[in-house]
Amino acid sequence: MVRTFSAQGVNCPTVMKTVRLLRSFLLLTITLAIGHGQQLAILDIAPVEIPETDALNLSEHFREVVSSKIGENIIPIDKVREVLSGDKVNNRWCAEEWCAREVGELLGVEKVIVSSIWKDGELYKLNGKLVAMEDTLLEKEHTFNFAGEEESLIPEVEVMAYELLSKQMPQELLLQHQYIDERSLALQGITEKKTRLTATLLSTAVPGLGQIYLKRKLWGGLWMATQLSLGAATLNQYLSYKDSYDEFYVFEDLYQASTDVDTIFAYRNDMLRTYDNTKTFIDQRKQLTQIIFSLWALNILQANIMSPSTEEILKDISIRFSHNPYNRQSQLRLTFTIE
Amino acid sequence: MSFDNPLDLTTAEELNIELPAIVFYPDSIPMEAGTSAQLQVFAMEVTGLSGAHIQINYEQQKLNLKSVTKGEFLNSLTDPGFFFENDTIEGLLDIYTISFGEDSLKNVTGTGSLAIVEFEATAPGKIILEYTDKCEFVDENDNPIEIKSLLYGVLDVAKKS
């Protein structure tokens, strides 16, 4: 039975019908608004070998970056968790494409971001996927592995947000990422090995080049100058040897062709002289060559020894990144901590 | 390095070759069968030489004598007296040369060419040319001058290509 209210001649059943219609329309509008404005769902970052609370905090930060800094409309996390904790989904955590699609369908969104952080020994492995429900292929994937402090996960999660959504990240964040990346390579000993190998190979190819690569320009210049001088001296010896060698054969021909005993005697002496000269130049050239090769080996050894250790490399990275124009602080510092 | 000029006095001393000597120059010639080669007959470090008789023994089956001409050693105001005889059966070449002065024979000292002989090789092989013991040197008074060494020559004949 419909209760009616008489108010100055207004037909109450009509009013109620109108109110009901308006309410339905409002609900529909709200539903459509939710459905239309919130095309992106971001699931919590799945933790592997890190505390769940840390993963949840990082997830919160990630969503904050996507909504506030990048400006994407995202579905509230409560709704997402509600779906994940329901009977239709088996896992609390989701980091794979298949479950992203499952959840995306349940939520009725266009895109879903799933991710994970895995602490594998000394390495952190960060992986994120952007799944577009309409495409069968993965729209974007971001993977970044690094060695370092857990605090570095905060800027890296931010980087992942920008990468997955194909947005240009701020310069400061980019520098932080570069710093973390370089530190990671150094901490794993990769930079030390690579630097040492490069310096050694360069010095093997060109004496002094390895030292220059290591920014020891004085040593590099010294090696180059020394080897060039010795090389020039060796070349000079070779040219002298060649002249003596040719001269010897000229005198030999003259000696053979001569029938005057005095001339024969003179040419004989000339042959002896040029032969001795040739031998001397050969010996000197051998000595110089030995010196060159000894110094070459020494230069290679020095380049190898001179290469910086991991500690020195880390110090250098700290110094370099503490003087960048994009960082307002005098020293690079990660401002957030994971509670 | 080898000092093998047959006229090299230092080499002769090292090889204990006594002088005066008669040598061929060059003392070894590579050649092809059917071609000719010239050798000079040299008197080496002789004193007061006025005349010489040179007898060369050669393999007549493998060599043909093409020519014999006089050397310059015994030249003076006039050409030296010069003639030769070739025995093709025995393979012997006799050369006679004498130096004429104004009123008497002239004599020369030192090392020089007495004759130039040209042979044609008719067969391949190493062909030796030897001076025989009948070689003689004489001074202006026809006194013999001892020849202490007679060095042979070699024609190294290869097959005709």
Q: What are the DSSP calls for A90-107, one per residue?
A: --S---SHHHHHHHHHHH
Classify residue B64: in a domain, yes or no.
yes
Whole-angstrom distance, CA of residue B86 vs CA of residue B117: 11
Residue A11 in any domain: the answer is no
What is the Cα–Cα distance from B29 to B79, expressed in whole angstroms?
Answer: 29
Phi, psi of B145 (to 5 degrees): -110, 125
Q: Mutate which of A247, A260, A261, A271 to test chain B, going by most B C-beta atoms within 10 A? A: A261
Using alpha carbons only, give the angle A125, A131, A135 rounded to the nearest 5 degrees.
140
Summarised one tens digit per residue, pLDDT across range A199-248 is: 999 999 999 999 999 999 999 999 999 999 999 999 999 999 999 999 99
Q: At what angle do helices A310-322 and A171-187 cross, to 10 degrees?
A: 170
Do A49 and A161 reside in the same domain of the chain? Answer: yes
Of A80-84, A271-275, B24-28, B121-125, the one with minimum mean pLDDT is A80-84
Does A328 map to a domain? no
Question: Is residue B3 a part of any domain in this protein?
Answer: no
Q: What is the CATH number of the domain that holds A78?
A: 3.40.50.10610
- Residues A187, A246 within the same domain: no
Give me the sheet containing B149-150, strands edge to edge. Answer: B63-70, B108-121, B36-49, B21-25, B149-150
Q: Mean of the pLDDT values across residues B63-80?
A: 89
Torsion angle of C-alpha atoms B66, B71, B76, B79, degrees rounded to 10: 0
pLDDT at A288: 95
Q: What angle do CA B147, B152, B158 make, to 5 degrees?
A: 165
Query: Rounded CA gap, A221 and A211, in Å?
Result: 8
Residue B2 located in a structural domain: no
Chain B residues whose CB is inside 8 A of the A268 CB are 3, 8, 10
Do both A171 and A268 map to the same domain?
no
Percent of chain A with pLDDT over 90: 70
Average of pLDDT values for B61-81?
89
Nearest to A152 by CA among A190, A179, A171: A179
Q: What angle do CA B76, B82, B84 make, to 5 degrees?
A: 160
Question: Tens digit of pLDDT for each residue in A242-277?
Answer: 999 999 999 999 999 999 999 999 999 999 999 999
Query: Residue B47 is encoded by which pair of tokens?
Result: 């004193």
Q: Is residue A221 part of a domain?
A: yes
Asked if residue B93 is part of any domain, the answer here is yes
A248, A264, A275: residue with CB nearest B5: A264
B116 compared with A94, residue with greater pLDDT: B116
**Cβ-defined contact of B7 to A261 (cutoff 8 Å):** yes
Contact B124, B158 (CB under 8 A): yes
Q: Chain B: nearest CA to A284, how far in angstroms?
A: 21
Positive or negative torsion for Cα A278, A279, A284, A288? positive
What residue spans of A85-208 are helical by DSSP H?
97-107, 153-164, 171-187, 190-205
Taking CA–CA distances from B72, the nearest residue in chain A reads A259
Euclidean distance between the first and the last CA atom of chain A, given in angstroms as a whole number: 59
Q: Percentage of chain A surpassing pLDDT 70?
A: 82
User: In the structure, what pLDDT confidence band is assigned to residue A333 with cuts at 50, 70 and 90?
Assistant: very low
pLDDT in tens, A316-325: 999 999 875 5
Question: Quick check: is A282 in a domain?
Answer: yes
User: Looking at the partner chain, which of B8, B40, B45 has a beta carbon nearest the beta carbon of A268?
Assistant: B8
Here the CATH number for the domain that contains residue B18 is: 2.60.40.680
State the residue range of the domain holding B56.
9-156
Q: Would you say B63 and B127 are in contact if contact means Cβ atoms under 8 Å apart?
A: yes
The pLDDT mean for chain A works out to 86
| pLDDT level of residue A13 (50, 70, 90 thresholds) | low
pLDDT (tens digit per residue) in A79-106: 887 777 775 555 678 889 998 998 888 8
A219 and A255 in a common domain: yes
Please give the average per-residue pLDDT across A161-178, as a whole number. 95
Asked if residue B31 belongs to a domain, the reply is yes
| More confident of the two residues B77 and A18 | B77
DSSP type of residue B124: -
Q: Which amino acid is at A334?
A: L
Q: Which of A192, A220, A255 is the last residue of a domain?
A: A192
Helix (H) or strand (E) holding A145: strand A140-147
Query: What range defines the domain where residue A301 resides?
Result: 206-308
In a domain, B1, yes or no: no
The rounded distance, in Å, linking the Cα atoms of B53 and B82 is 10
Q: Is residue A45 part of a domain?
A: yes
Q: Report the pLDDT averaged over residues A42-59.
A: 93
Q: Is there a single domain that holds both residue A107 and residue A160?
A: yes
Put simply, the answer to whether A259 touches B7 (Cβ < 8 Å) is yes
Tell me how close the Cα of B9 comes to any Cα of chain A, in angstroms.
7
Say if residue A217 is in the same domain as residue A184.
Answer: no
Residues A64 and A86 in one domain: yes
Half-sphere exposure of B77 (CA within 13 A, CB side): 7
Whether B9 and A271 lie within 8 Å, measured CB to CB:
no
Which residues on B lie below 8 Å from A261 (Cβ)? 7-9, 45, 110-111
What residues in chain A have their Cβ under 8 A from chain B's Cβ atoms? 248, 252, 255-256, 258-261, 264-265, 268, 271, 275
What integer pLDDT is reported at residue A30 of this predicted model? Answer: 45
Predicted TM-score (pTM) of this structure: 0.68
**What gap in Å lies between CA A165 and CA A156, rounded to an integer?**
14
Residue that wins the pLDDT comparison between A334 and B29: B29
- Position A176 in a domain: yes
- pLDDT beyond 50 at A28: no
Average pLDDT over residues B15-43: 96
Question: Which chain B residues have any C-beta within 8 angstroms of a chain A C-beta?
Answer: 1, 3-5, 7-10, 25-26, 40, 42, 45, 110-111, 113
**Is residue A277 domain-resident?**
yes
Domain membership of residue A4 (yes or no) is no
Q: How many domains does chain B have?
A: 1
- Residue A2 pLDDT > 50, yes or no? no
Split into its structural domains, chain A has a count of 2
